[in-house]
């Protein structure tokens, strides 16, 4: 029986993991504290009225991702969305701009350069969004002052908050556990759970919803979570053989492995993009309609558009599902290139059994990828649309939608996978250390 490990090896095995966990918790605590620091010059009463009038719009979506910081109009009100948008824009440009495409192939140096472009894009988008947000707040009469006396401190605070969140996310990725940006979004969504529970209890007390309905909804949520975990872990393993080769006097025997293809390669990006695009017209209709009572035809058109495209309406559900499917195919094509994979297999002397290397392998991978993406797109569409369809029956708040549920489950799965990877790596290091230093064993 293996004996217990004592001394430096035992302490080192858990010290780094504990430090990473403590750093992650400390960073998320700083994020939650920052979400309560207000932007100077905001009237809180008028701000609360604005959010009450703009329920189920793009404000609700961004407020969910910012953990309530937007509703409080804190310095972190922009959240991490400018960084996410800049990252996606840089990835899109890397497919069409040859210089950026070559940077992706330069290893760590190219990655640092792309990260620099992403940070610069985040700064630009954050500045544009901060100016637009301040202009909207001033037009709604929510500010305590006007002109530069409001714009300068407010814009500076919002941009600084976004850049701080970007830096904090990078620090969590490097010194904590899990992807930093995902953990910040996760913390923002989970922070709203106590309010959701409180609203559910109040709705039961007021007779707006029944206890049986909420229990059935809880069972359904558990079933959806189980389905999300099952599909996110599902893979299509394509067999790959390596031919026998000889280097000098050494002969390497033929090996067989597999190429794992996930059913959902796009993650939650399609749901976020589709929600943003559809909620923007509804938000525009409410803002413009309420801000300009003499707009005439334009006002009526925008108000009708806001009504038709509000969450839960038939047209909204159809467009939302169609956009999710489109972005699933679009984003999967960005992150996985069958032609590039087939060329890498050919250069390394690998081949798919029964498929000729080169173009035939690329077409074979593309055919499989299209079928997997279709299944993944249908799965994301069902998860995101189901809460909206059942919302009227059970009175579920909008921020308990499928998008937030999908993000929470996926982030937790990624966190557990990275934690397991850290534990496994330390286990291998300790086994190697024990072989070199048997005195570390407890005799």
pLDDT tens for each residue of 86-135 = 887 887 787 778 887 788 777 778 888 888 999 999 999 889 888 888 88
**Phi, psi angle pair for 313, to nearest 5°:** -75, 150
Inter-CA distances, 275 with 250, 381, 394, 408, Å: 57, 12, 22, 17
DSSP H helical segments within 267-337, as ranges? 269-291, 297-308, 314-335
Measured distance CA(129)–CA(65) in Å, rounded:
15
- Nearest one of 23, 80, 84, 87 to 422, comparing CA atoms: 23
Measured distance CA(131)–CA(206) in Å, rounded:
42
pLDDT of res. 393: 55
**Phi, psi angle pair for 391, to nearest 5°:** -60, -45
Terminal CA-to-CA distance of the chain, rounded, Å?
Answer: 12
pLDDT tier, 198 (very low <50, low <70, confident <90, very high otherwise) = confident
Inter-CA distances, 431 with 15, 210, 243, Å: 17, 56, 33
Measured distance CA(66)–CA(158) in Å, rounded:
12
Place of tokens 């006007």: 146
**Angle of CA points 430, 431, 432, to nearest 5°:** 90
CA atoms within 13 A on the CB side of 401: 23
* Contact criterion met (CB below 8 Å) for 349 and 245: yes
**Domains of the chain by start residue, with CATH:** 1-207 (1.10.3370.10)
pLDDT at 194 over 90: no
Which tokens hold the place of 8? 């430096």
Measured distance CA(411)–CA(405) in Å, rounded:
10
* Contact criterion met (CB below 8 Å) for 275 and 320: yes
Encode pLDDT of 220-241 as tens digits.
778 888 888 898 888 888 888 8
Which tokens hold the place of 304? 């009708």
**Phi, psi angle pair for 273, to nearest 5°:** -65, -45
Measured distance CA(32)–CA(191) in Å, rounded:
8
Burial class (CB in 10 A: 0-12, 13-18, 19+), 420: exposed
pLDDT tier, 69 (very low <50, low <70, confident <90, very high otherwise) = confident
pLDDT at 421 over 70: yes
Measured distance CA(280)–CA(282) in Å, rounded:
5
Lowest mean pLDDT among 231-240, 310-319, 332-341: 310-319
Lowest mean pLDDT among 55-64, 89-98, 121-130, 329-338: 55-64
Encode pLDDT of 234-279 as tens digits.
888 888 887 766 566 665 566 788 888 888 888 888 887 787 777 6
- Strand extents, DSSP E, 199-302: 235-242, 245-247, 250-252, 255-262
Most confident stretch, 4-18, 152-166, 276-290: 152-166
Most confident stretch, 55-64, 162-171, 245-254, 295-304: 162-171
Place of tokens 């509000």: 310
Which percentage of the chain shows pLDDT scores above 90? 12
**Angle of CA points 63, 66, 58, to nearest 5°:** 30
Lowest mean pLDDT among 78-82, 172-176, 433-437: 433-437
Q: Please give the helix or strand (H or E) that residue 350 lies within, else none.
A: strand 350-351
Bridge pairing between strands 245-247 and 250-252: antiparallel
CA atoms within 13 A on the CB side of 435: 5
Q: Three-class SS of residue 395?
A: coil
For 169, other C-beta atoms within 10 Å of its C-beta total 22
Encode pLDDT of 359-373 as tens digits.
899 999 999 999 999
Q: Three-class SS of residue 107?
A: coil
Measured distance CA(103)–CA(261) in Å, rounded:
25
* Contact criterion met (CB below 8 Å) for 344 and 338: no
The arithmetic mean of pLDDT across residues 334-358, rounded, is: 85
* Contact criterion met (CB below 8 Å) for 32 and 187: yes
């Amino acid at each position: 029986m293996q004996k217990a490990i004592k001394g430096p090896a035992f302490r080192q095995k858990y010290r780094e993991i504990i430090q990473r966990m403590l750093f992650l918790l400390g960073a998320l605590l700083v994020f939650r504290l920052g979400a309560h620091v207000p932007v100077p010059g905001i009237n809180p009463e008028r701000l609360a009225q604005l959010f009450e009038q703009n329920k189920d719009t793009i404000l609700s979506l961004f407020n969910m991702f910012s953990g309530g910081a937007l509703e409080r109009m804190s310095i972190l009100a922009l959240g991490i969305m400018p960084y996410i948008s800049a990252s996606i824009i840089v990835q899109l440009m890397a497919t069409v701009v040859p210089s950026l495409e070559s940077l992706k192939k330069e290893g760590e140096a190219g990655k640092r350069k792309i990260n620099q472009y992403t940070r610069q894009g985040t700064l630009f988008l954050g500045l544009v969004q901060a100016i637009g947000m301040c202009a909207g707040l001033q037009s709604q009469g929510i500010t305590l002052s006007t002109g530069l006396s409001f714009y300068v401190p407010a814009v500076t605070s919002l941009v600084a908050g976004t850049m701080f969140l970007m830096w904090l996310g990078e620090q969590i990725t490097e010194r904590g556990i899990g992807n930093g940006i995902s953990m910040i979004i996760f913390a923002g969504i989970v922070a709203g759970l106590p309010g959701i529970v409180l609203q559910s209890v109040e709705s039961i007390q007021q007779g707006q919803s029944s206890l049986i309905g909420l229990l059935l909804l809880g069972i359904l949520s558990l079933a959806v979570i189980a389905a999300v975990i099952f599909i996110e872990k599902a893979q299509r393993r394509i067999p790959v053989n390596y031919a026998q080769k000889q280097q000098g006097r050494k002969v390497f025997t033929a090996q067989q492995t597999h190429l794992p293809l996930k059913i959902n390669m796009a993650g939650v990006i399609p749901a976020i993009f589709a929600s943003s695009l559809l909620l923007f017209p509804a938000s525009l209709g409410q803002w413009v309609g309420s801000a300009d009572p003499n707009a005439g035809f334009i006002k009526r058109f925008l108000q009708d558009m806001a009504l038709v495209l509000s969450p839960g309406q038939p047209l909204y559900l159809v467009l939302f599902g169609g956009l999710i499917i489109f972005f699933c195919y679009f984003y999967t094509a960005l992150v996985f290139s069958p032609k590039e994979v087939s060329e890498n297999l050919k250069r390394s002397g690998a081949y798919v059994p029964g498929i000729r290397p080169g173009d035939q392998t690329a077409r074979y991978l593309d055919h499989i990828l299209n079928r997997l993406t279709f299944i993944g797109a249908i799965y994301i569409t069902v998860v995101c649309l189901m809460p909206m369809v059942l919302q009227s029956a059970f009175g579920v708040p909008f921020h308990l939608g499928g998008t937030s549920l999908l993000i929470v489950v996926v982030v937790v799965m990624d966190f557990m996978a990275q934690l397991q990877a850290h534990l496994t790596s330390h286990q291998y290091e300790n086994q190697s250390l024990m072989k070199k230093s048997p005195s570390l064993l407890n005799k």
